[in-house]
Chain A
Amino acid sequence: MSQREAQWEVVIGLETHAQLQTKSKIFSGAATAFGAEPNRQACAVDIALPGVLPVLNREAVVCAIKFGLAVGAQIAPRSMFARKNYFYPDLPKGYQISHFEIPVVQGGGLTIRVGDTEKFVHLTRAHLEEDAGKSLHEDFHGKTGIDLNRAGTPLLEIVTEPDMASSAEAVAYAKALHSLVTWIGICDGNMQEGSFRCDANVSVRRPGAPLGTRREVKNLNSFRFLQQAIDYEISWQINEIEEGRKIRQATVLFDPDTGETRAMRSKEDAHDYRYFPDPDLLPLEITPAWIAEVKSTLPELPQAMQARLQSQFGLSAYDAAMLTAQREAGDYFQQAVAIAGAESAKLVANWMQGELSARLNREERGIAASPVSAQQLAGLVRRVADGTLSSKLAKEVFDALWTGEAKDANAVIEARGLKQVSDASAIGPIIDAVLAANPKSVEEFRAGKEKAFNALVGQVMKASKGKANPQQVNDLLRQKLAG
């Protein structure tokens, strides 16, 4: 943060649209799968033929209930769908059906972590609504194409209180939310396909002053863009105010190419959406029995799992948080520990956060698509824990498993003869040979140069082709040099 920005307070609230993983649309029976030929997944209801009517998909409501339970919110026993009226070619009915006055999920929140600091971000609400179609401006030579496959796709719009004070907090929240909605299986989280997208409301103020005027950055579909857009807005707004101009409420778009935001429309030309309760739909009633039924299908939630991993396996809060950032990671960890043994939990955690995560990142894979399975990693960790493999050899085994050279660690060790040598009678002669060949290093060590010792260890390891147990090499070498 620059000196100038330190004199300002930043206030951020996020609105996130999470596309719900239902088989069919929220008010019609058409499929929701991504990537179909344009307008092949749009039925009479989606294209708003005269006379058609919406029917609520209960599966979308189940998703909303799951979310409400996961964030500790109130689930409204009775909520209403309203019509949000505006004209746009990809909005077939001329209105969007959305919860308005009474949202289905009220309150709740998420704990986020930036560095060592934890913060609770409060949610205002989460409500169900339908997505619009897409306007396609390319390939039509001055005309606009309309694809209504997406029209009617169920969305959960999740709205926070203005609780975040930096782009880092906003990104941490968005990541935590992303992890949660994928964790409970209501959203596939695919940001490129638009399944999870954020709008950021950003304002700045002098510390202690009333809230500043906010600008809303629309449709941010990556964490990086979210960060860049917010940072740009903060510095733009500060600059405007410092130069004596007023911030005007506006909706803006972020241009990833320039890293800047530009105004889409100001408050003056904002729509009057003429909300009113949709007379085609009955009020949505959610009984305690329905909530209980949904609750019984929820998996263990990330925070509960985090706490359990700490108490059950003695992991640090940091490790537990990392392992529960995604449900797949938590599952992977637990599968591996079940095989490797609870005493190796820390070792499994280290491997997952070290070699495994580095390789996955490098190849841009998710842990669910890891070439090294939890079973394979567990087998590897067992051989490390029982001293068969040094960490250097273990990495070699890991590589072999990654490339699919063998089905488990034991097979790699066998095939490559990688067993660690911990036998003094085998290591002794190697040390003797190394000492004989490096009189200069021996002399230096005796003169007090510790570095020379490390050079000798290196030589021994090299001579043993890495198989010698490093601890044993250390001990034996010291004995011999002292002798």
Chain B
Amino acid sequence: MIESSLQQLSAALAAKKVSAVELATLFLDRIERLNPALNAFITTDRERTLAMARAADARRAKGPGEHCGPLLGVPLAHKDIFCTEGWRTTCGSKMLANFVSPYDAHVVSQLKTAGMVTLGKLNMDEFAMGSSNETSHFGPVKNPWDTNRVPGGSSGGSAAAVAARLAPIATGTDTGGSIRQPAALCGLTGLKPTYGVVSRYGMIAFASSLDQGGPMAKSAEDCALLLSAMAGFDERDSTSLQREAEDYSRDLARPLAGLRIGLPKEFFGPGMDDDVRAAVAAALDQYRQLGATTVEVSLPNSGLSVPAYYVIAPAEASSNLSRFDGVRYGHRAAEYGDLTEMYCKSRAEGFGAEVKRRILIGTYVLSHGYYDAYYLQAQKIRRLIATDFQEAFKVCDVIMGPTSPSVAFSFGAKSADPVQMYLADIYTIAVNLAGLPGMSIPCGFGTADMPVGLQLIGPWFGESTMLNVAHQYQQATDWHRRCPPIGD
């Protein structure tokens, strides 16, 4: 059962071969047993979970009908960046260690409405700032493939939980690669939608113009199913796009003959490890066998994406995180002399080192006299990067390359050098800057039998095409079915 796809779970529930309560219990027990070694969950609440499961079973007991959608009774876990009413929502930070949200994020309420059962809240880099999950106040998440290695970040808890089969599927968020990179490092399928497809309401903001929620799953098929329920216009998010609801599963079965795959030469230069290069090359061969053709494309400004990102994202973050001031909720220093001291101590104690670093960078680049030189320039680069992609998509339907330059690295390997850490996202960041949809799918194993991810990038609103491209590959390969050797 723990290996089942969403569709299989859905069918089993519909056929009453299993109840939502039984399914939830199965996963809760597994979490209880295996999570201590992985630290993927920050919060579980058996009673709340079972109450949701019982409600799902009760809904089904009313007989078939619209209230029994495909996700009714299917369990999932949420990255702890999504506000969940009645649950602690920490964002991986001491600042919000005791914050219980009084409301549900749009995504959470959509999935609740669909009848999904929440298993718990997943660990993450503090405020989603990190690529290794080492910045979490609640300790690092371990990679289920090798617990001495990082799971990637910032959605490391989501990736580890699904990889270790502690949850059938999870939500994640991606600001510069935070869904795709941990998906790659843990052997999962993860999708970051086009900016504006998934409402950001209730998703604690890191960098507002880049943040986007998405599914992290065992397969493209599962991603499609969850994304169909997560996406949709939300009037509470002004950047949410007013588009018709989509069935992202609709194109899964389409054959790939005639598919044009763009290979940006900038993504295949030096900087990529050989094991990753080999796995990606093999995946591309597989695609050619499936009837696709490859064409070299160029993204000449992609080299500027990391520096542009590390201006824009911290700038927005420095402002977004100002609300955590200890006045209304969140951590407040125990003792302080005056207002300024209350702010300083509360924030000094409540935020970790990486968050402080980014607040400092962001504050600096927005300062009087520096704004034009940094922020404005970075915004111009952003436009150039988006234009590069538009040019490339004139000659291809989807772009492919590595998700991450290396397989999962060991704890501490990059945490002393922020720039090394930032370069872990070198292939994913441009996608966020351009607002494009991106995916990572497992495409083999590299050094030390660690999973390698293949990145797919689509044009705006190309989700269903990407899911089709990923699904067809997953019909022909079994990398996505491999399971880490943990606990069984």
Name A residues whose Cβ lies closer than 8 Å to a Cβ of B.
Answer: 44, 47-56, 83, 85, 87, 89, 92-95, 144, 146, 272, 274-276, 279-282
Contact = CB atoms under 8 A, between A and B. Distances in A.
Interface string B185-224: 0000000000000001111110111000000000000000
Contacts of A92: 323, 327-328
A27 B167 CA distance: 37
Most chain A CB atoms below 10 A, which of B83, B319, B324? B319
Interface stretch (B51-59, B100-108, B138-146, B460-468): B100-108
A85 B322 contact: yes
A89 B340 CA distance: 10
A47 B323 CA distance: 9
Contacts of B375: 276
B394 to A, nearest CB: 27
Contacts of A95: 319, 322
A132 to B, nearest CB: 12
Contacts of B426: none
Nearest to A90: B327
Contact of A50 (B83, B237, B366): B83
Given A50-B83, A87-B343, A274 B237 contact: no
Given A44-B102, A92-B323, A282-B239, A50 B368 contact: no
Contact of A280 (B96, B238, B325): B238
11 contacts: A50-B83, A50-B96, A51-B83, A51-B200, A87-B343, A89-B327, A93-B322, A279-B209, A279-B239, A280-B205, A282-B239
Contacts of B35: none
A95 B323 CA distance: 8
Nearest to B342: A89
Contact of B371 (A48, A276, A280): A276
Nearest to B202: A51
Given A51-B83, A52-B202, A87 B209 contact: no
Contact of A53 (B102, B200, B209): B200
Contacts of A52: 201-202
A87 B201 CA distance: 23
Contacts of B285: none
Contacts of A49: 83, 101-103, 329
B319 A83 contact: yes
A274 to B, nearest CB: 4
Contacts of B236: 53, 55
Given A50-B99, A274-B366, A94 B200 contact: no
B204 A274 contact: no
Contacts of B321: 94
Interface of B: 82-83, 89, 91, 96, 99, 101-103, 105, 200-205, 207-209, 235-239, 315-316, 318-319, 321-325, 327-329, 339, 343, 363, 366-368, 371, 375
Contacts of A85: 318-319, 322, 366
> In the complex, which of the residues B96, B99, B101, B238 has the most CB atoms of chain A within 10 Å of its own CB atom?
B238
Contacts, number: 98
A95 B319 CA distance: 7
Of all A-B residue pairs in the complex, the 9 with the closest CB atoms, nearest first, are A94-B322, A274-B366, A279-B209, A279-B208, A51-B202, A48-B323, A50-B204, A51-B83, A272-B368
Nearest to B96: A50
Contact of A51 (B205, B207, B366): B205
A85 B49 CA distance: 40
B interface: dominant SS? loop
| Most chain B C-beta atoms within 10 Å of own C-beta, residue among A49, A55, A85, A144 | A49
A93 B239 contact: no
Contacts of B208: 279-280
Contacts of B324: 50
A274 B319 contact: yes
Given A89-B339, A92-B328, A280 B239 contact: yes
A146 B339 CA distance: 13
B363 A274 contact: yes
B325 A94 contact: yes
Contacts of B209: 279
Contacts of B204: 50-51
Contacts of B99: 50
A2 to B, nearest CB: 40
Contact of A146 (B105, B201, B322, B327): B327
A280 B321 CA distance: 14
B456 to A, nearest CB: 26
Contacts of A279: 207-209, 239, 316
Given A55-B236, A89-B339, A50 B327 contact: no
A89 B343 CA distance: 10
A144 B101 CA distance: 25
B201 A276 contact: no
Given A51-B105, A55-B238, A95-B319, A272 B367 contact: yes
B324 to A, nearest CB: 8
Contacts of B205: 51, 53, 280
A447 to B, nearest CB: 86
Given A44-B103, A94-B325, A274-B366, 20 more contacts: A48-B323, A48-B328, A49-B101, A49-B102, A50-B99, A51-B105, A51-B203, A52-B201, A53-B201, A83-B319, A85-B319, A85-B366, A93-B322, A94-B322, A274-B319, A274-B367, A274-B368, A276-B315, A279-B316, A280-B239
Nearest to A83: B319
Contacts of B316: 276, 279
A335 B165 CA distance: 79
B101 A50 contact: yes
